[in-house]
Amino acid sequence: MGPLCGPCLDGGITDDIASVKERSAQWTLRAETMSHDHHDEHHNEIAHVMPLWMLFATFAALVVLTCVTVFVGLNFELGAWEIWVSLGIATAKAALVTLLFMHLAYDKPLNLAIFAFSLLFVLLFLGFTMVDAAAYKTELDAGDALRSSQ
């Protein structure tokens, strides 16, 4: 009898190995079945398909908004409102892209709420930055005038 042979190890190890192999085969079969069922669910599921006219209308709206941005930028001096108008048009274009091209309008409402709150926080951060920059504008202009005179 060798060191690994004995009454407790002879049948015990082979029985344990067989039961582990059997359980492993069961789990593998179960995982393959679940994976296959899960794959079939998504494979048969059809994503939201938008009509072609809506895609072209969205594209046309994006082109028009881009032309409006260029036209306003070249022909109007809006002063302090220029950045707000530009950001408003850019936000409208981003909303069109996310809602229609990225299908957020047809997705779960929670995803739309998360996007809306994210946009709200971006607007808040930009607003605080603009207010801060406006508070120091006179000092910045004085510094620019001093540098240009030297």
Q: Mean pLDDT of residues grouped by 10 in the chain (150 residues)?
A: 51 62 67 52 60 91 95 87 88 90 85 88 87 79 80
Task: Classify residue 32 as left (phi > 0), alpha (psi -120 to 50) or beta.
Answer: alpha
> Which tokens hold the place of 38?
């899960």
Contact 68, 92 (CB under 8 A): no
Q: How much is the pTM?
A: 0.54
DSSP string, 62-109: HHHHHHHHHHHHHH---TTHHHHHHHHHHHHHHHHIIIIIS-GGGS-H
Please report, as a single letter, which amino acid is at residue 81: W
